[in-house]
Amino acid sequence: MHCPYCGYPESRVIDSRDVDDGIRRRRSCLSCGRRFTTYERVQRASLLVIKKDGRREEFNREKLLNGIRKACEKRPLAGEVLERLVDEIETDLYQLGQVEIPSRIIGDMAMARLKRLDHIAYIRFASVYREFADITMLKEEVDSLLNKGGEVLPDQLPLFPPDDGAGRGRKLGTVP
């Protein structure tokens, strides 16, 4: 750490304190005696997402959060729940210890969590990520959800609103 005034390579730390995501150090140059400040921050390893067409792009937390928010629109899920969900995914991704990760893995991580959280949000998200080709594939996914009712958390919302008497419940085609 060279002194910004005289370029001398050694300095003495006279004060050190934690700031947001790092440490701020006040230093005194051992040659000219002038004081300057340095910051030390943890640098996260960069994470590349391999897209379907093979292109790479930097992992973008906001993009993932936006996709999940969209799937959760008008669902009774607090914003902080979604933030936490993305935090978990981000942590898991870094723990994989890989520099490049296929976008599908990230989609699967998001789907697995949404599935436990809210069925409607899950189906919406899955239909974008898995690109359900037709209503049959969508129906299969919904059926598999209904069949695995045991995995659902007790506070899980019903997949479809109760029959309001206007018909025999809602049809699959109304799921966005």
Give me the residues that bind Zn ion (CB under 5 A), please. Answer: 3, 5-6, 8, 29, 31-32
Q: How far is the CB of 8 from Zn ion (least distance, A)?
A: 5
31 or 66: CB nearest Zn ion: 31
Q: How far apart are CA 41 and CA 170, in angstroms?
A: 53
Place of tokens 């969900």: 85
26 or 69: CB nearest Zn ion: 26
Q: How far is the CB of 16 from Zn ion (least distance, A)?
A: 19
Strands (E), the chain: 11-19, 22-29, 35-41, 48-50, 56-58, 100-102
CA-to-CA separations, 27 to 3, 22, 33, 41, 115, in angstroms, rounded: 9, 16, 9, 17, 52
29 or 101: CB nearest Zn ion: 29
Amino acid identity for residue 88 in this structure:
E
Q: How far is the CB of 47 from Zn ion (least distance, A)?
A: 39
9 or 169: CB nearest Zn ion: 9
Q: How far is the CB of 31 from Zn ion (least distance, A)?
A: 5
